[in-house]
């Protein structure tokens, strides 16, 4: 490892590896990861959409990464949502006349590692077991990272630093950016990877209601009788009972024969975007920038999107020999232009849905049960909701 680089990326999750790959086009890049192994342990249910989801993000996964059999655990051809009273609403690729996958369930241990390898292939130096412990700050600008590696403490300088250190990010805080999440803006999650679970092939299952207050439970197939069974509960609704206790109840009810082979706990930001994601010599990407999608808490797509833009802007800053906020703001502007409006709207939807009672969720599901391909658009959805209760128009007008 050298004493200075053009760019240091802290964290080798999807956001960091993609940022490093893009920045390495013309710059010397150091990508550091505190864990010994990239991709493990997995803190994710591992599903990503392949189709564009206009209400959420106007791009698809394949724009960033070409799916590779090596890290695709299962193709997703349908999505099924279950209400507290058992009413089911289903959407499948076949409804649109084609059987193309709507998404995939990843093998993130392999996927994250592949992205880091791609970054290395494009020239980035990757250092595992290397933890950022602080930033080098000079004249109001970030000029490098303080590192700890195998008991040794040392500084590495850089023209700019990209903070890709996930939901528990410290890089932003070290630079003076307020990254605190309110309890109402964080989903606290628990997940088992289980064997002996009967899941419908190629189908993502979601369960709503008070079994996961102001969140949802999921069961995602990974093939061969295995799957990710988990749930998230909004931080402000936890009141003493931990997500794992909710999960054990859910599993006992739905998957009594399932055998857990992995347990993980984690959190997803379901907040609005951070107001500042750049500073002099600094950009924040992925979960560190709270870029997850607020309704689902999914953040892989957003990590790829923000990492790509930030990496390209980093490269430009290095070429211009100017990593001031004036140049790096292009990343923030481009992110907001591409995804800002959708983010605002989905945050409002999230604020609406987290306050629904089980009865209200049941009624909404009744309205959508048997939805057809022709109705799978804003107009069709509105018609069904208004047939249920015209007063709903008042509640939902804010995100139309």
Residues within the interface to ligand FAD (CB under 6 A): 10-16, 32-35, 43-48, 131-132, 164-166, 170, 189, 191, 230, 266-268, 286-288, 292, 297-301, 303
Q: How far is the CB of 343 from ligand FAD (least distance, A)?
A: 14
Q: How far is the CB of 6 from ligand FAD (least distance, A)?
A: 18
Rounded CA-CA distance 248/263 in Å is: 11
Q: How far is the CB of 148 from ligand FAD (least distance, A)?
A: 9
Q: How far is the CA of 354 from the CAs of 295, 351, 360, in angstroms?
A: 9, 6, 11
Rounded CA-CA distance 86/77 in Å is: 21
Q: Which is nearer to ligand FAD, 55 or 386 (CB)?
A: 55
Rounded CA-CA distance 159/186 in Å is: 33
Q: Which two tokens stand for residue 309?
A: 């833009």
Q: Which is nearer to ligand FAD, 7 or 385 (CB)?
A: 7
Name which of 309, 370, 382 is nearest 57 in CA terms.
Answer: 309
148 alpha carbon, distance to own chain's centre: 27
Ramachandran angles phi, psi of 363, nearest 5° = -65, -40
Q: How far is the CB of 372 from ligand FAD (least distance, A)?
A: 27
Q: Which two tokens stand for residue 277?
A: 């994601």
Q: Which is nearer to ligand FAD, 288 or 328 (CB)?
A: 288
Q: Which is nearer to ligand FAD, 115 or 392 (CB)?
A: 115
Q: Which two tokens stand for residue 250?
A: 């859910």
Strand partners, 147: 132, 154
CB half-sphere exposure, 368, CA atoms < 13 A = 22
CB half-sphere exposure, 319, CA atoms < 13 A = 10
Q: Which is nearer to ligand FAD, 65 or 189 (CB)?
A: 189
Q: At what angle do helices 378-388 and 358-368 cross, to 10 degrees?
A: 120
Q: Which is nearer to ligand FAD, 335 or 385 (CB)?
A: 335
Q: How far is the CB of 42 from ligand FAD (least distance, A)?
A: 8
Q: How far is the CB of 89 from ligand FAD (least distance, A)?
A: 19
75, containing H or E segment: strand 72-76
Q: Would the CA dihedral through 329, 335, 340, 343 be positive or negative?
A: negative
Rounded CA-CA distance 110/100 in Å is: 23
Q: How far is the CB of 50 from ligand FAD (least distance, A)?
A: 12
Q: How far is the CB of 97 from ligand FAD (least distance, A)?
A: 27
Q: Which is nearer to ligand FAD, 54 or 370 (CB)?
A: 54
Q: How far is the CB of 105 from ligand FAD (least distance, A)?
A: 8
Q: How far is the CA of 34 from the CAs of 130, 144, 146, 147, 317, in angstroms?
A: 5, 16, 13, 10, 26
Q: Which is nearer to ligand FAD, 53 or 292 (CB)?
A: 292
Rounded CA-CA distance 10/146 in Å is: 11
Q: Which is nearer to ligand FAD, 127 or 371 (CB)?
A: 127
Q: Which is nearer to ligand FAD, 22 or 292 (CB)?
A: 292
Q: How far is the CB of 76 from ligand FAD (least distance, A)?
A: 11
Residue 137 sits at the vertex; the CA angle it makes with 170 and 23, to the nearest 5 degrees, is 70
**Cβ atoms of residues 284 and 163 within 8 Å:** yes
């Amino acid at each position: 490892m050298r004493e200075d680089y053009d760019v240091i990326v802290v964290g080798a999750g999807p956001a960091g590896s993609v940022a490093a790959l893009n920045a390495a086009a013309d710059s010397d890049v150091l990508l550091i990861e505190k864990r010994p192994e990239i991709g493990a342990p997995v803190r994710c249910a591992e599903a990503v959409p392949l189709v564009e989801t206009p209400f959420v993000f106007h791009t698809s996964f394949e724009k960033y990464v070409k799916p590779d059999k090596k890290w695709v655990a299962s193709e997703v051809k349908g999505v099924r949502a279950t209400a507290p009273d058992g009413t089911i609403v289903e959407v499948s690729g076949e409804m649109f006349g084609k059987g193309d996958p709507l998404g995939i369930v990843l093998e993130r241990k392999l996927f994250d590692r592949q992205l880091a390898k791609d970054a290395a292939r494009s020239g980035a130096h990757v250092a595992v077991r290397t933890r950022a412990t602080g930033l080098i700050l000079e004249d109001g600008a970030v000029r490098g990272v303080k590192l700890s590696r195998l008991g040794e403490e040392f500084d590495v300088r850089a023209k700019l630093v990209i903070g890709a250190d996930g939901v528990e990010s410290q890089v932003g805080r070290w630079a003076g950016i307020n990254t605190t999440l309110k309890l109402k803006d964080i989903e606290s999650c628990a997940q088992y990877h289980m064997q002996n679970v009967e899941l419908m092939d190629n189908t993502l299952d979601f369960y709503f209601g008070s079994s996961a207050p102001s969140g949802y439970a999921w069961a995602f197939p990974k093939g061969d009788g295995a799957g990710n069974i988990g749930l998230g509960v909004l931080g402000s609704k936890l009141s003493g009972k931990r997500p794992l206790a909710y999960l054990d109840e859910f599993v006992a009810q739905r998957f009594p024969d399932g055998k857990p082979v992995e347990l993980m706990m984690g959190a997803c930001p379901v907040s609005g975007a951070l107001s500042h994601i750049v500073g002099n010599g600094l950009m924040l990407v992925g979960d560190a920038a709270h870029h997850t999608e607020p309704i689902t808490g999914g953040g892989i797509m957003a990590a790829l999107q923000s990492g790509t833009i930030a990496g390209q802007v980093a490269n430009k800053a290095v070429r211009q020999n100017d990593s001031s906020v004036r140049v790096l703001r292009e990343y923030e502007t481009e992110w907001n232009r591409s995804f800002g409006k959708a983010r605002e709207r989905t945050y409002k939807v999230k604020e609406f849905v987290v306050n629904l009672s089980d009865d209200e969720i049941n009624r909404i599901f009744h309205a959508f049960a048997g939805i057809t391909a022709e109705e799978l658009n804003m107009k069709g959805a509105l018609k069904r909701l208004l047939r249920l209760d015209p007063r709903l128009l008042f509640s939902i007008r804010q995100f139309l």
